[in-house]
Amino acid sequence: MKRIESRLKELSKVNQKAFVGYIVAGDPDLETSLDLMHLSVESGIDILEIGVPFTDPIAEGPTIQQAHDRSLENDTNLQKIVDLVGRFREKDSDTPIILMGYINNFLMYKDLINSSDELGVDGVLVVDIPGELSLKDYGIDNKDLDIISLVSPTTSKERIQRIAKNSSGFIYYVTLRGVTGSSNLDGNEIEQNIQYIKSISTTPVMAGFGIKTKDDAKLLSSFSDGIVIGSSIVELIHKNSENKDFHEVSDYISTMKDAIR
Amino acid sequence: MKENLPDQDGFFGEYGGKFVPETLMFALDELEQTYKTLKDNNDFNAEFHRDLAEFVGRPSPLYFAKRLTEHYSTASIWLKREDLNHTGAHKINNTVGQILLAKYMGKKRIIAETGAGQHGVATATVAARLGLDCHIYMGSEDVRRQSLNVYRMKLLGAKVHEVNSGSATLKDALNEALRDWVTNIEDTYYIIGSVTGPHPYPMIVRDFNAVVGYELIEQSQESFGRMPDSIIACVGGGSNAMGIFYPFIKMNDVELIGVEAAGKGIETGEHAAPLNDGTPGVLHGAKSYLMQDENGQVKGTASISAGLDYPGVGPEHSWLKDIKRAKYVAVSDDEVMKAFHMVNRMEGILPALETAHAFAYLDELMPQMSKEQHIVINVSGRGDKDLNSVVEIEGIKL
């Protein structure tokens, strides 16, 4: 069984929701990213989403944009990120890892992504490719990888059906109209839309974008299979990058994990 | 040649498409449906052409450049005077069309990105006319270079948002406008200013600007009894070039030449010429030639002209390049400044620095032409907005 599927099954067996946590690889540097990946898992993250930095990340708010910029100053690229995942796997062979980024970077590393070698990566989430299109059409094809697609509040029912067919691992429900880190969550709308997705697909649904507080996390996890948190974690990492004491990061993750139990 | 491009998915050959976050798909579909319904609607077209005639002042003249022609003493040089349009550039053609789409769709809020400020001014102008809330995104570097246009937009009631991220130029303004659109998707219409961005924008912007090329067909017939031998236009995103090229694509005897910004020289890497020195990639929702590094990161650009200072280009140009229907060349900042002065002195016309790129190619082109031939330059805009930059570049104190 693939890592994402088995992790989600384990959690659902014990009636737990999944906590997907996002960090940008290479912010503040790749060595620290490796430590932060392990720290995140120890603190309660069930699935790691690793941001691949891009010069023009149009779906990101300022917090994650700036993290992308910092990472690019360190010349982070996809090859280095796959190497980072390889090093992570030396100590952790269970935690699923998803690479999240923009199509242009993945296109440049097609051969790497398609290689039959064990990448250690379990899924990719390409933000700027419409979910009903297949990454295969763009030359990205690796049967070992789950393809995570986004559904948003503006996605029509007809599109949701097509997107659901192309998705594996989980469907990422974007909880608001806006970029990452915004704050205008509408609980009722989110609940209705997630219920609709679940009525037509057996693929688990995670809710993300704009989750900051314990209350957000608790509410959204009550009608989804789990939550995704990015900007808040990225912000805390940046705040503590100088002295590299990441207690605040681990405390925040544990608190959020407790909130969705 | 394949006709009626883009195809139903928005591709010109392998270029174009809709590479956007899911939230935007609904708005692009809505826009595509609206445009499909309206483009053959008589009332819509009548209103568009009435506005072009009465508000923009079309048709723009085709003017014989007598002294330039004598200077090179080969082919006759004709100027398509888009600089004489209301607001001073071809950009108004597209905004007049798109604001009508916004009106038919019932959108109350207008956003746009701008580089040189011409598209920002053209957008603020049409929004003012309809009393719509207007927000313009502009890189802080361009705000500095084009302060006069910034003030013009404010006079027109638009809010100008300075963008400091990335290189603080046109590409970053586009990123920020897209983020605004994702956030305010339901009540907001995004007027993209060039033949770039996700489908259906490259098609819509081309179609509204194609009035330039259709007029040229008639005016060429009237002025010299046949079609031109060559048409020259500058290319940043490529909307003025696409507008004048489009009706001629099927006329294979008409040479189409796009002139990109070579900045400090193609060989220095400091330029804005993706068709001359780029590779296919995806930026701002479309696949096209792109200035990028081996990791797929978008490179910084350099050009004297804010309007051409963009690392990408419209997907239809990439397709025209690959099928060899159009030729894309590049001229350096120094060559542009020389041409800028020449056009002022010889023709009494102050061209925009963008437009001066098209003139700068004459030195290379004209010796290859012969007396009985006719070439047309698209004078995409006037240069009043650039006077501050020119003064600064030449170290003059006013």
Of B25, B175, B290, the CB nearest to A155: B25
Taking the alpha carbons of A42, A45, A51, A57 in that order, is the dihedral positive or negative?
A: negative
- Residues B48 and B53: their CA atoms lie apart, in Å, by 9
Asked if A200 has any chain B CB less than 8 Å from its own CB, the reply is: no
- pLDDT score for A183: 79
Residues of chain A found within 8 Å of residue B285, distances taken between Cβ atoms: 128
- pLDDT score for B3: 55
Of A56, A163, A182, the CB nearest to B183: A182
**3-state DSSP assignment of residue B15:** strand
The vertex-A49 CA angle with A46 and A50, nearest 5°, equals 135
Q: Nearest Cα to B177, choosing from B193, B200, B153?
A: B193
CATH code assigned at A38: 3.20.20.70
Residues of chain A found within 8 Å of residue B18, distances taken between Cβ atoms: 130
* Edge-to-edge strands, sheet with B279-283: B11-12, B15-16, B286-290, B279-283
Interface touch A178/B27, C-beta < 8 Å: no
Tell me the β-bridge partners of B134: B110
Give the DSSP H/E element, type plus range, for residue B77: strand B76-80
Asked if B179 has any chain A CB less than 8 Å from its own CB, the reply is: yes
Nearest-CA distance B269 → chain A (Å): 18
Q: How far is CA B177 from the centre of its chain?
A: 17
Q: Nearest Cα to A46, choosing from A37, A55, A56?
A: A37
Q: Give yes or no: B113 in active site.
A: yes
Taking the alpha carbons of B161, B162, B163, B164 in that order, is the dihedral positive or negative?
A: negative
Q: First-to-last CA distance in chain B?
A: 54
pLDDT, tens digit (0-9, with 9 covering 90-100), for A212-248: 999 999 999 999 999 999 999 999 999 999 999 999 9
- pLDDT score for B2: 46
Asked if A153 has any chain B CB less than 8 Å from its own CB, the reply is: yes
Give the range of the structural domain holding residue A47, as residue numbers without chain letter. 3-259
Q: Give yes or no: B91 in active site.
A: yes
- pLDDT score for B216: 98
Residue entry with tokens 């789409």 = B101
Interface touch A179/B179, C-beta < 8 Å: yes
Cβ-Cβ contacts under 8 Å for B235 (sequence gap 6 or more): B241, B258, B259, B260, B275, B308, B313, B317, B328
When mean pLDDT is compared across A99-108, A141-150, A246-255, B317-326, the lowest value belongs to A141-150
CA dihedral (A8, A10, A16, A18) in degrees, to 10, reads -30
Residue entry with tokens 């450049």 = B65
Q: Are B87 and B118 spatial neighbours (Cβ–Cβ below 8 Å)? A: yes
DSSP B53: I
Which domains are present in chain B? 11-51+91-205 (3.40.50.1100), 57-88+210-393 (3.40.50.1100)
- pLDDT score for B257: 98
Count of domains observed in chain A? 1
Asked if A201 has any chain B CB less than 8 Å from its own CB, the reply is: no
Those residues of chain B that have pLDDT short of 50 are 1-2
Asked if A102 has any chain B CB less than 8 Å from its own CB, the reply is: yes
- pLDDT score for B88: 95
Query: Do β-strands B15-16 and B11-12 pair in parallel, antiparallel, or remain unpaired?
Result: antiparallel
pLDDT, tens digit (0-9, with 9 covering 90-100), for B328-364: 999 999 999 999 999 999 999 999 999 999 999 999 9
pLDDT at residue A61 tops 90: yes
**3-state DSSP assignment of residue B62:** strand
Interface touch B185/A78, C-beta < 8 Å: no
Q: Give yes or no: B288 in active site.
A: no
Q: Nearest Cα to B206, choosing from B196, B216, B217?
A: B196
When mean pLDDT is compared across A100-104, A166-170, B353-357, the lowest value belongs to A166-170
